Amino acid sequence: ASPTAITVGIGRGAELGILIKNGEALEISEKLTTIVFDKTGTLTKGKPEVTDIAPIGTDNRELLKLAASVEKNSQHPLAEAVVKKALEKNIEIETSQNFNTFGGKGVKAVVEGKEIIIGNRTLFKDRNITIPNEAEEKLSKFENEGKTAVLVAADNSLSGAIAIADTLKETTKDAIGKLKEMGLKVVMITGDNKQTAGAIAKQVGIENVIAEVLPQDKSEEVKRLQEAGEVVAFVGDGINDAPALAQSDVGIAIGSGTDIAIESGEIVLIKNDIMDALAGIQLSKKVMGRIK
């Protein structure tokens, strides 16, 4: 395309709320074969809410108190949901000591002299904390509903699970459908567990799911797709997404995302609308003379 066409294209993008940082991004977008979406905050609103509390050998309030007292130290959206629920229920949040994060797995701290661990199955397996069948059944139920269940243990014994659900963005399903119609392979990538990820993917019509990915491994997955010959766009919002945004052929950041994601992306969706990823690709095709 001529430099003029590219300048016009970038200007048109800006009018649409699609910030295109360089002409190259606009030129490559037309060649994309695969589009990879982060789940939380990209396909979903990223404002999760506690939906269910399932204590084991304790009660709802005690479970929520222990969990919130640890999660108060974490910035993770799941942590914010737990703290918010505790505050809503007027549960007193205790002070905690020795807070620690297990990246992509969970958190821990000492509350009232007990070591409280909160996180996913992988973390509980790593730490040899038994999950009784009764709890497994609850977890499966939550996960098949597309909820993320966080497990809570006190001194290495399971105290229950808290189910947390995030809402899909209004346009997610339509946008995925249209991208597939364009012939793109659509992939969802997430640190969340396979069952929850699978349930959400099904709701939006995504067949390719890469779940239980550790934060540092998202970019590896993009590389793998590229090595298989795909031209890859990565759409994400989080700190974890920055390396994958940089690795992809076209990094598309959500405007409300973290600063580092926005810096790493070549295209920024100012309106946070996934549908604008599609509009960006169409704009690219137009600029490159593929459609009249």
Q: Judged by CB under 5 A, does residue 195 bind Mg ion?
A: no
Q: Judged by CB under 6 A, does residue 195 bind ligand ADP?
A: no
Where b means 16+ CB within 10 Å and e means fewer, 268-291 reads bbeebbbbbbbbbbbbbebbbeee
Cβ at position 236, least distance to Mg ion in Å? 6
- Return the ∠ at Cα 201 (arms to 200 and 207), rounded to 5°: 165
Q: Mask of contacts with ligand ADP, 141-160, x by CB under 6 A?
A: -------x-x----------
Active site residue 38: yes
The total of other beta-carbon atoms located within 10 Å of residue 92's CB is 10
The catalytically annotated residue of 38, 192, 237, 249 is 38
Of the listed pieces 83-91, 114-122, 221-229, 260-268, which binds ligand ADP according to CB under 6 A?
114-122
> Positive or negative CA dihedral for 128, 132, 138, 141?
positive
| Cα(169)–Cα(273) distance, integer angstroms | 8
Q: Judged by CB under 5 A, does residue 41 bind Mg ion?
A: yes
Q: Judged by CB under 5 A, does residue 258 bind Mg ion?
A: no
**Strand order across the beta sheet in which 34-38 lies:** 18-20, 267-269, 250-254, 232-236, 34-38, 185-189, 208-210
Out of 12, 31, 76, 127, the only residue in the binding site for ligand ADP (CB under 6 A) is 76
Residues 245-284 that bind ligand ADP (CB under 6 A): none
Give the residues lining the site for Mg ion (CB under 5 A): 38, 40-41, 237-238
- Which positions are annotated as active-site residues? 38
